[in-house]
């Protein structure tokens, strides 16, 4: 039988030799799927983090939520002063005759109480201070008596809570003109005593008196009221007074029938005008003032005009013509107008800067600090009075039938909003609107300042200075190592540079704060000389080396040029560093205006020249240390990109007559530009998210100033410092999450833009 396979078929390739095993195909497919799944999981995890921090920040941008009203039939007269205890379970109403009735949440009377008065005196006016829950009665004999309302909670066997009231009456004291009945009374209960403003009729003419009453405690524990001499202020008014507000700090605001506004303050027992009177609504159709009241903290006054305009006046520092700084009342906020036509009245919150404005059947809850309207509604009745719950948990209106209409209020973050975080706010006691971050303070009248703009600015500032320091060093070092350094040197230097990236940030911050900052503080002139001299010395050395005869260059093998450059750089650095004090005496002197002595001190010279501060822990130190942390990251990636440029391109360039430097600059760098750019952006991300170095090496103050000799506060450092102190779910807590969200979005936008640019560079300079 003849063999079917001829000699030509012996070496014929068999198809099965090129067949891939099923296990290899399966494992390859499985790994591809796993890699895809891992990539999708990473992306999902990143966006999950973004969703989480955004979800925690979202409540900051919600307005007030108010429930449907509940009617409580108090059957109080429309002229009554009404209020509620802090728990919202006990209402009270003070009738014109001075009797106080207490009610449960259903409107049933639980008790009644009336002060016992001697000598036939009877109440002729009333006033209530919700801050201290104190009621004051002006009497027919020219004296006043006060009572503090104490509420206590009890729980029965069924677990039902009830509130009982127990007023404590103080002694009566004469204010104003003795013997003349008090027709109107206004008062505030402050830490330095009570301030009473009373309106009486003297010789058939209206008179306004201001009296300070202080409590004196004896060694035996007895309390005695002492009233200062009454001060009559109506003589300083152009027209009769219509509205009077008293603050706990001693300020008295008076509005007259002509729309003039006056501010009096206590000057050693004499109440004098703080500034000339003015008309806040002079430009409106009607200049009259409908109502006014001090905002919580008593540094701002809310006004509602007869024309429907609503503005805020605050005490702000103003520089006078003679150069002195005085605190004067100035308009700082303007709110949307109210529908004019009916008398408007307002009531302030006793726990924050919110206030309630009611005009006709329209009610509006507003927040002073952020200049925003938190809630507005149309009522089906015209209220005769309104008040906000003690814990900012309810809004209450009194109708003509004596019924309370209670709206439950949920507004946990009234001081937040887009304007609060990203707009300029005119805060109390500030000279002008500004971006300010100050989340806490030691005084009681503090209002949170939650602008994220200074933190974003500080993040950009610190990152910018770090990149200015690190980019030239890291990129030039990478270029030298990739194109000029000998392989045996590269095997030593590159691992050392990569090891630098593993240094902990807290160690670098510790070194910067305790070692570098004190030494740099007094050596700025030396640093300036070194920064100028080293590049010039290196370029001069390179220029001289290029002009040396070839026979001299043979003494140094290629790649060992740095062995001669390093000693030169060290000597130049040491020489110019020692010239720093001389340089400072020649160019950086400051003349003491008091003694005329000339002092060679860069810190004083800089402050007098620029007006900016010079702090020991500043951005110069941050630039050095944070740049030191970023250099290994940029260097490693850039060097890899430069080393991976095909040698064929380098050889072709050299063969065409280009020098090694021309080849590196015009061929290697453009070809590796995509990788270099990736390294720069990764280093940028490392710098923008740095925390511990910024916390330890700067003053950590949220200031907006490009001055290199002061500090800043970054978003990441702010989160690290303040998150442990923030109460969970508070405005401060959620604002820190918003800062994290801003940092996330900022880096995401920059990295996305960088990736798009990198792809364009890669397409432009691709080799194949």
pLDDT > 80? residue 239: yes
How many angstroms separate the CA atoms of 10 and 442, rounded? Answer: 96
Q: Which residues pair with 214 in a beta bridge?
A: 226
pLDDT, position 454: 94
Quote the pLDDT of residue 6: 54
Tens of pLDDT, residue by residue over 241-262, are 999 999 988 889 999 999 999 9
pLDDT band at 53 (very low <50, low <70, confident <90, very high): very high
Say what the pTM is.
0.86
**Measured distance CA(713)–CA(24) in Å, rounded:** 55
Please give the DSSP secondary-structure letter assigned to residue 73. Answer: E
For the stretch 685-696, pLDDT in tens is: 888 888 888 888
pLDDT of residue 270: 82
Q: Is the pLDDT of residue 190 over 80?
A: no
pLDDT given at position 443: 47
Q: Which domains, and CATH codes, for the chain?
A: 115-279 (no CATH), 453-764 (1.10.3720.10)
* 297 neighbors 447 (Cβ within 8 angstroms): yes
pLDDT at position 390 is 87
* Residue 398 and residue 384 in contact, taking contact as beta carbons nearer than 8 Å: yes
Q: Give just the sign of the alpha carbon dihedral 523, 528, 529, 530.
A: positive
Instruction: Tell me what pLDDT residue 248 has.
Output: 85
Tell me the pLDDT tens digit for each residue of 569-600: 899 999 999 999 999 999 999 888 888 888 89
Tell me the pLDDT tens digit for each residue of 452-485. 999 999 999 999 999 998 999 999 999 989 888 8
The residues facing 367 across adjacent strands are 354, 372
Span 45-58, average pLDDT = 91
Mean predicted confidence (pLDDT) in 426-437? 90
pLDDT of residue 738: 95
In the predicted structure, residue 621 carries a pLDDT above the cut 60? yes
Burial class from Cβ neighbours inside 10 Å (0-12, 13-18, 19+) for residue 87 reads: middle
Ranges 187-201, 217-231, 278-292, 736-750: which has the least confidence: 217-231
Percent of the chain scoring above 90 in pLDDT: 34
Residues 454 and 437 sit within 8 Å (Cβ to Cβ):
yes
Q: b vs e for 262-284, b when ≥16 Cβ sit within 10 Å of the residue's Cβ?
A: bbbbbeeeebeebeebebbbeeb
Between 266 and 54, the higher pLDDT residue: 54
Helices (DSSP H) in 579-618: which residue ranges? 580-587, 602-610
Backbone angles phi, psi at 147, to 5 degrees: -145, 130
Indicate the pLDDT class of residue 221, thresholds 50, 70 and 90: low
User: Per-residue pLDDT averaged across 559-575, rounded?
Assistant: 85
Triad 691, 694, 695: Cα angle to 5°: 80
Binning pLDDT at 50, 70 and 90, where does residue 5 land? low
CB 713 within 8 A of CB 720: no
Strand order in the sheet with 372-378: 344-348, 354-359, 362-367, 372-378
Q: Which pLDDT does position 159 carry in this prediction?
A: 67
Please report the pLDDT score of residue 46 as a whole number. Answer: 86
- Listed ranges 24-28, 71-75, 147-151, 406-410; the one with the highest mean pLDDT: 406-410
- Please determine, for residue 220, whether its predicted confidence score (pLDDT) is greater than 60: no
For residue 564, is pLDDT > 60? yes
Neighbours of 228 (CB within 10 A): 17
What is the arithmetic mean of pLDDT over 234-241? Answer: 90
CA neighbor of 298 nearest in space, from 236, 364, 253, 357: 253
Q: What is the DSSP letter of 20?
A: P
Q: What is the mean pLDDT of the chain?
A: 87
Q: What angle do CA 201, 203, 206 make, to 5 degrees?
A: 35
Give per-residue pLDDT as tens, 193-211: 889 999 998 888 889 999 8
3-state secondary structure 125-185: EEEEECCCCEEEEEECCCEEEEEECCEEEEECCCCCEEEEECCEECCCEECCCCCCCCCEE
- Percent of the chain residues past pLDDT 70, beyond the cut: 95
Question: Does the pLDDT value for residue 222 go beyond 80?
Answer: no
Entry field: residues in the chain = 768
Contact between 197 and 187 (Cβ < 8 Å): yes
For 528, the token pair is 């300036």
For residues 697 and 12, the model is more confident at 697
Position 442 scores a pLDDT of 47
Q: How confident is the model at residue 740 (pLDDT cuts 50, 70, 90)?
A: very high
> Looking at residue 734, what is its pLDDT?
94
Higher pLDDT, 444 or 391: 391
Residue 507 pLDDT exceeds 60: yes
């Amino acid at each position: 039988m003849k063999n079917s396979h001829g000699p030509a078929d012996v070496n014929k390739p068999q198809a099965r030799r090129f067949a891939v095993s099923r296990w290899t195909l399966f494992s390859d497919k499985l790994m591809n799927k796993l890699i895809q799944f891992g990539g999708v999981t990473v992306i999902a995890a990143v966006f999950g983090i973004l969703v989480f921090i955004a979800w925690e920040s979202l409540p900051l941008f919600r307005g007030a939520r108010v429930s449907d009203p509940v009617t409580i039939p108090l059957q109080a007269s429309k002229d009554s002063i009404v209020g509620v205890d802090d728990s919202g379970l006990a209402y009270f109403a003070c009738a014109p005759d001075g009797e106080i009735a207490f009610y449960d949440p259903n409107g049933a009377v639980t008790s009644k109480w009336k002060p016992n008065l001697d000598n036939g005196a009877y109440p002729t006016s009333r006033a209530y201070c919700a801050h201290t829950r104190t009621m004051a009665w002006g009497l027919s004999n020219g004296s006043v008596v006060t009572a503090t309302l104490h509420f206590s909670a009890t729980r029965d066997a069924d677990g039902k809570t009830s509130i009982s009231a127990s007023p404590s009456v103080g002694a009566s004291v004469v204010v104003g003109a003795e013997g003349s009945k008090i027709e109107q009374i206004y008062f505030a209960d402050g830490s330095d005593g009570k301030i009473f403003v009373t309106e009486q009729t003297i010789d058939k003419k209206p008179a306004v008196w201001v009296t300070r009453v202080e409590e004196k405690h004896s060694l035996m524990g007895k309390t005695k009221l002492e009233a200062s001499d009454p001060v009559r202020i109506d003589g300083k008014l152009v027209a009769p007074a219509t509205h009077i507000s008293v603050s706990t700090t001693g300020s008295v605001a008076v509005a007259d029938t002509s729309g003039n506004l006056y501010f009096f303050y206590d000057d050693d027992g004499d109440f004098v005008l703080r500034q000339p009177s003015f008309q806040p609504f002079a430009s409106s159709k009607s200049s009259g003032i409908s109502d006014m009241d001090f905002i919580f903290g008593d540094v701002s006054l809310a006004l509602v005009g007869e024309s429907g305009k609503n503005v805020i006046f605050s005490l702000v520092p103003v520089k006078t013509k003679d150069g002195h700084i005085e605190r004067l009342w100035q308009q700082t906020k303007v709110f949307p107008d109210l529908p004019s036509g009916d008398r408007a009245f307002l009531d302030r919150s006793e726990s924050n800067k919110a206030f309630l404005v009611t005009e006709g059947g329209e009610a509006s809850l507003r927040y002073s600090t952020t200049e925003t309207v938190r809630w507005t509604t149309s009522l089906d009745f015209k209220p005769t009075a309104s008040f906000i719950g003690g814990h900012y948990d309810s809004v209450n209106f009194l109708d003509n039938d004596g019924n309370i209409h209670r709206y439950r209020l949920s507004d946990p973050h009234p001081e937040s909003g887009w304007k609060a975080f990203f707009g300029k706010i005119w805060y109390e006691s500030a000279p002008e609107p500004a971006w300010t971050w100050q989340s806490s303070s030691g005084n009681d009248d503090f209002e949170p300042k939650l602008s994220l703009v200074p933190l974003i600015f500080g993040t950009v500032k610190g990152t910018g200075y770090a990149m200015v320091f690190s980019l030239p060093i890291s990129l030039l070092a990478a270029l030298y190592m990739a194109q000029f350094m000998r392989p045996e040197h590269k095997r030593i230097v590159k691992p050392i540079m990569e090891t630098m990236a593993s240094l902990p940030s807290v160690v670098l911050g510790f070194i910067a704060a305790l070692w570098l900052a004190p030494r740099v503080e007094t050596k700025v002139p030396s640093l300036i000389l070194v920064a100028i001299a080293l590049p010039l010395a290196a370029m001069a050395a390179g220029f001289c080396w290029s002009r040396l005869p070839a026979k001299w260059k043979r003494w140094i093998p290629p790649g060992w040029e740095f062995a001669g450059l390093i000693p030169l750089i060290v000597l130049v650095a040491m020489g110019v560093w020692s010239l720093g004090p001389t340089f400072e005496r020649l160019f950086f002197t400051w003349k003491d205006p008091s003694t005329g002595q000339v002092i060679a001190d860069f810190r004083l010279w800089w402050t007098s020249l620029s007006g900016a501060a010079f702090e020991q822990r500043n951005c110069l130190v941050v630039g050095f240390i944070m740049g030191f942390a970023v250099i290994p990251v940029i260097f490693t990636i850039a060097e890899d990109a430069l080393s991976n440029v095909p040698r064929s391109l380098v050889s072709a360039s050299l063969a065409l007559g280009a020098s090694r430097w021309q080849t590196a600059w015009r061929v290697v760098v453009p070809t590796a530009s995509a990788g270099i750019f990736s390294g720069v952006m990764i280093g940028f991300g490392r710098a923008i998210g740095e925390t511990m170095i910024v916390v330890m090496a700067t003053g950590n103050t949220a200031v907006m100033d490009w001055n290199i000799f002061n500090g800043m506060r970054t978003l990441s450092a702010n989160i690290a410092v303040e998150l442990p102190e923030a109460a969970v779910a508070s405005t401060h807590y959620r604002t820190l999450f918003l800062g994290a969200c801003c940092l996330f979005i900022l880096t995401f936008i920059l990295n996305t833009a960088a990736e798009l640019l990198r792809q364009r560079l890669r397409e432009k300079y691709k080799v194949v």
